[in-house]
Structure formats: structure tokens, C-alpha cells
Amino acid sequence: MKTKLFIQAVLLCVMTLSMTSCKKSPKGTPDNGNGNGGGDGGGVITPPVDPPIANTIGFFLNDWAPKSFTPPSYTDTTLPTAAPSVTINIDASSIITKVPGPVFGQNANVWMTPMVTEPVLMNHITNLHPNVIRFPGGSLSDVYFWNAPDGVKPTDAPGTLLDANGNTIAAGYWYGKNSQSWTASLDNYYSMLQQTGNQGIITVNYAYARYGTGSNPVTTAAHLAADWVRYDNGHTKYWEIGNEDNGTWEAGYRIDLNNNHDGQPQIITGDLYGMQYKIFADSMRVAAQQIGKTIYIGAQLLEKQPESWQTPTDQTWNAGVLGKVNTSADFYIVHSYFTPYQQNSSADIILNTAIDNPASMMNYLKTSFTNTGATVKPIALTEWNITSQGSMQQVSYINGMHAAILYGEALKNKYGETSRWDFANGWNSGNDHGLFNIGDEPGVPKWNPRPAFYYIYYFQKTIGDRMLSSTVTGSTDILSYASSYTSGQNAVMIVNKGTTAQVAQVSLKNALYGNRFYWYTLTGGTDNGEFSRKVFVNGKGPDAVSGGPSTYASLNAYSATTNNGIKISIPARSVVYMVVDKK
């Protein structure tokens, strides 16, 4: 009778492994570091349970789908014989969050050619699959008229604007129907999204509500945004009202009162933006209802406590905005360029900002919500990069490591969306945010990916659909970001931000792992000091003076069996992307 009951229990355990706890066979060997136990050997496997969707992620998980891992082509690789210096502990039962696809977003812009006429670029965007691509691009969004031919501004848009100090400057408008070969029209953008399998996030021209010379510029600007929603016809779900409109550099920060006819103040405030945001949102939602589509509309906040030297506008921005838009905003937008502004920062400083800032920003936002009584909404970091300059930091592999860490921290801290700035910019002696060479980097092919591209590509290639809890013992230089696939595999990205190589032992709890694991190791080169412009993937580097391997999409993974445990070398200043096969 005992034998019969034992067999029934085993059958029940096998059938319900994904939902219930199962005790392993007494013949299983405990996993004491040699991997022979196949995970949580000899113990009870606690099943994973999806946590509630965080309010800071919300609808950005609406398109979530389970992922299946297909083992890649691989090269058998010898594991290190040295004793581990660090241990990475992954708990497959402890899910932090499902992984929202929009967290891997990017920024396109209108000056990077039509895009669809550039097959090399289009192939890279398709391979990268950022999921969400923002448009039309930063501050120019506030001088962008989506439905106007080149040079044909609205009659109530003045020919000049005021800068922060009250000086008259050329308006510098951009036009969505400009079909010249150097620029992307709005329809080019839509076509790029369709051809590369991505979706958009659009920033509408809020500042027109400030500098417009008509009798009711806010209503006029809101109607223009609503007409864009109608024209878009459901292609885009995510919409932003303006770009960094608290900033002294932004159109509409200061307006010419002689041209204003609805009594607006000369300098913008958060309270004013919040009131006008609601007018935009109401008009845009009516438009969406008319075409039977659902859209989500974001309002701008500051990501950290303003410094004492910042403007009165900044000092009261979040309180003013939240006091007006609490029930109207669908999500909140922040931007961050992480590093000390335009300083020649070291690699250590740069990498540590990616670790520290996502948590501090999220904590500050939650404090802002609490202090104003506002409801927590999804958070979108729709522009981010680093501003370090002087040693080509922005085009270096260190910026790639920064991107990898940031994605891991964004998921840990439960951001709903991020968009890295940007696909292409300008060389400027290496002070270039562009993920690709737009054609002006000496000695490098047009659209050659910068090192950051490879760190982002392999992150997305190897991350599962749920982020797991993981910890590191033995070194503060090692970071780990673990995940699981619905198909049963587990993954971990291991970052060594230090200058000393390590040997890591990976310990997997509450999971049964299979006979093999796969990984990609990304390291920098020896050029340009600690800011190499090259990245090597499993030893394969670029053909040019910068970038990475052109064969990245077909490059063999390294692989080894789990017979002697999951132990791996982590070179200095490297990132390892690993997937452990299922039992």
C-alpha cells in the first residue's frame, strides 16, 4: 500500500510541478556546488507565484507574453578550475516582476534620415527589437508640427521665440510632412515601426499652448494633438504631453507676453502645466474614443529633489503637476542623464550611477506621490543616457555596461518603460549619444553599432519573461540580475564592474536545471584607456576601429555541461549573459 501511495504522489508531483511543491527523490544528490543535484537537490521545491502587478508598471505589462528559450548554436568551453571567489544565489521561486517589454525602449529622431531607406539600420533595429521607439525627439517635440509641410508653420506660431533670458531667437520649427532625404517624416516613422515590428511612444507639442499667438492657444494646441491621435488611428498607445517643459532650454519656458492673449504667466510653472495637461488629455481621449482606440497619456515630473540653484519652476514642479493631474494622468514621465553633467568621469563613477539612480529616483517619486496625496501610476523613463565626456565615455563599452546595469535596476525597481537616448546623434569627438554611427565617425561604416548596442542586444536575447531574486556573496564588484522563462529555463546576467577577474559559482534554488548552460561574455578592448570603443563577444571583436562583431546575430554561445557545477570566469569589467537549460 505504501508503494502504491508513493507512486501516486510522484505522478501527482510531476503533473503539477509548476503549481505545487514537490519533494525530490531520495536518490537526488544535494547541490553543494558541484551541480550534480540539479538545483535544489534533496529539498522541497517551492513553486513560483507571480506577484501582483506593481502600480509603477501597470498597463505596460498588458502586452506581456510568455517566452520560450531555444538553445543556440554553441562552442563547448572548458570551465575554470580555480575555486570560486563569488557565489551567485538565484531563487527561482521568488519572482520580482514579470518583465515588461517596453522597458527596453529606444529614441528615434527626425534628423536621422528617413530610416526606411537605410537597410543596414533597419536590420539592426529589427534584431534589437526595443519594443517601443519614441518620436519625434527630445526638445524639438515642442517645436514640431506633425501635419505641416516643410516651412509651413501655423499662422498663430510666431517666427521667433524667447530663450530663458528673454533674448529673441529663431523658432526653428520642425515639420512632420517634410519629405527631404535627410529627415524622417511622420509617415516614415510609422513605416519604420511596422517594418521592424515595434510600437511607438509619441511626444506631442505642448509648448505650442504657451507660445501660440491665438486667442486660446491651449485649446488650439490640444486640438492639434487630438487630430494627431485621430490620424494615428490606434497605431500608438503611449503619448506624452511635452518634453522637459520645466527646463529653461525648452520652447515655452518663457513666452513673449506681447504675443499672448489668454493671460498666461511669462514663466511656466508645474501648476500651469498640470492645468493645461488636463485640457490636452481630455481632447486626446475624446479623439481616441471617436476612433474606438485606447491610449495612455503621460505627464512630466522631475526625477529628483531639485538642487538649491535650480529655478523656482523646478522647486515646485512636482507638487504643482501632481496637484492638478492626479486623476487625469495615466502615467508619469521622468528623464535622467545619470552622471555628473559633462564631467570627465571615471568608469567607476559612471557604473555606480546605473546602480544607485534608478532606486533613488523611484523613491523620490513615491515620496512626491505621498506628499501630495497623489495616486501611484506607472513610471516611464523616456530619456536616459550619460553626459560624461572628455574621454569618449559615451561611445565606449563602459556606456554599454552602464546600459546593462540600468536595465537590470529598472526591472528590480519596477519601472514600466524606459527609452534610451538615442538611435543616432552626431560624433562630436566621441561625445555622441547615438547607438549607431550616423555617418560622421572617422574610419567607421555608416550605421555601425556602438558597444552599447551589443550589451542591450544580448540582454534582450537572454532575459526570460520573469525577473527573479538573486544575491551575490564574496565581492561587491559583482552584480547579478536573474530571470526565468515560462518554458522552464533560468537565466542570469552577471556584471563585474571591478578591475579584477573573478570566478563565480551559480547556485540555483527551487528549480531543477538540465545538463547544459550557455553564455556570452562581453569585454572591452585595450584601446583608449578604460574607455575602449570596442566590445568583444566571446572573443570576437569589430572589423573597424570601434563597435563589435558584425556577426553578432549568429555568433556561437559558449557552453558547458552542468556535470561539474555552474562555474564560470567573469573577466574584469565584463558582462556575462547566461541561460541554464531546464531539467
Domain range summary for the chain, segments of one domain joined by +: 101-462
**Is the distance from CB of 378 to CB of 426 less than 8 angstroms?**
no
pLDDT at 18 over 70: no
- pLDDT over 70 for what percent of the chain? 93
Residue 66, C-alpha cell as written in the block: 510568455
pLDDT digits (tens, 9 = 90+) for 88-133: 999 999 999 999 999 999 999 999 999 999 999 999 999 999 999 9
Distance CA 171, CA 259 (A): 14
470 confidence band (pLDDT: 50, 70, 90): very high
pLDDT at 33 over 60: no
Whole-model pTM: value is 0.93
**Higher per-residue confidence, 34 vs 214:** 214
pLDDT at 16 over 50: no
Distance CA 139, CA 145 (A): 13
Neighbouring CB atoms inside 10 A of 234's CB total 13
pLDDT at 482 over 60: yes
Give the domain 101-462 fold: TIM Barrel (3.20.20)
Neighbouring CB atoms inside 10 A of 158's CB total 17
39 confidence band (pLDDT: 50, 70, 90): low
pLDDT digits (tens, 9 = 90+) for 284-333: 999 999 999 999 999 999 999 999 999 999 999 999 999 999 889 999 99
43 confidence band (pLDDT: 50, 70, 90): low
What phi and psi, each to the nearest 5 degrees, are found at residue 207? -60, -25
9 confidence band (pLDDT: 50, 70, 90): very low
Angle at CA of residue 359, ends 273 and 129, nearest 5°: 80
What is residue 44's predicted lDDT score, i.e. its pLDDT?
87
DSSP state letters, 376-408: P--EEEEEE-----SS-GGGSHHHHHHHHHHHH
- Asked if the peptide bond before residue 136 counts as cis, ω within 30 degrees of 0, the response is yes
**Is the distance from CB of 133 to CB of 417 less than 8 angstroms?**
no
Neighbouring CB atoms inside 10 A of 355's CB total 16
Distance CA 450, CA 462 (A): 20
pLDDT digits (tens, 9 = 90+) for 454-469: 999 999 999 999 999 9
pLDDT digits (tens, 9 = 90+) for 399-433: 999 999 999 999 999 999 999 999 999 999 999 99
pLDDT at 3 over 70: no
**Higher per-residue confidence, 427 vs 41:** 427
